[in-house]
Amino acid sequence: SQLLFVIILLVVAMGKQKKTRKFAAVKRVITSSQKKKADADETAKFNKKKEEKEKKMNMFGTVRHKEQASSAMFFSYNTQLGPPYHIILDTNFINFAIQNKLDIMQASMDCLFAKCIPCITDCVMAELEKLGRKYRLALKIAKDPRFQRLPCMHKGTYADDCIVNRIKEHKCYIVATCDRDLKRRIRKVPGVPIMYLSQRKFAVERLPDTQ
């Protein structure tokens, strides 16, 4: 009778162990499938958000920083431009004027049919002084008392950056230059005409007909 009782206990214990193992195995399978499903749902949500973002980008275009337009540019022309014209002279423009034997003051008035005030920044003057004796005539012309001197308050003496920053702040200037890179930078600033040399005389681009 004792042996029979022990056998019955062993059978019951083995049955419980099998059931427990089976339950644990089933539970592990369910957890794994649920995790895969959750991962798939997250991936689908991420892809959906990405597609919506791309659609919006294509619809409205990329958002870029745009500088505030000057109040002087309310119409298609710059209302701050008008006689007497203030012309900022670049270093190479003065040199080209000398090579073509042109008087800057007279040639500017012949081009614009109005009074002109050539302006020299401190940066341009510093560049001419650094170039040495070869440009001593250009330096002498730049010191003409009829020319207006524009003081520079920034650090460094790179004239191109100085001129571009100045015309962005003040739209009342025409820039006289023969430098291609500087012309390209100035064309990105609306309402600022460019004076250059063409066929041994001064010419101007982007100057509106109506003032």
Q: Answer for the pair 69, 80: CB distance below 8 angstroms, yes or no.
A: no
Interior CA angle at 178 toward 84 and 75, to 5°? 45
pLDDT in tens, 39-68: 777 777 777 877 777 776 666 555 555 555
Long-range Cβ pairs for the range 101-109 (8 Å, 24+):
102/197, 102/200, 102/201, 102/202, 104/141, 105/144, 105/146, 107/201, 107/202, 108/176, 108/195, 108/202
The three-point CA angle 97-133-203 to 5° equals: 10
Distance CA 94, CA 111 (A): 16
Q: Extract the residue ranges of the chain whose pLDDT is less than 50.
A: 19-20, 23, 26-27, 71-75, 210-211
List Cα–Cα distances, 99 to 92, 110, 167, in angstroms.
10, 18, 27
pLDDT for position 20: 47
Q: What angle do CA 46, 52, 56 make, to 5 degrees?
A: 145
Looking at residue 68, what is its pLDDT?
54
pLDDT at 37: 72
Confidence (pLDDT) at 211 = 42
Residue from 2, 185, 187, 180 nearest 93 by CA: 180
- Tens digits of residue pLDDT in 133-161: 888 999 999 999 999 999 988 777 688 89
Question: Do 173 and 151 contact (CB within 8 A), yes or no?
Answer: no
| Phi, psi angles (nearest 5°) of residue 112 | -100, -10
Cα 178 from Cα 172, distance rounded (Å):
20
- Predicted confidence at residue 146, as pLDDT, reads 93
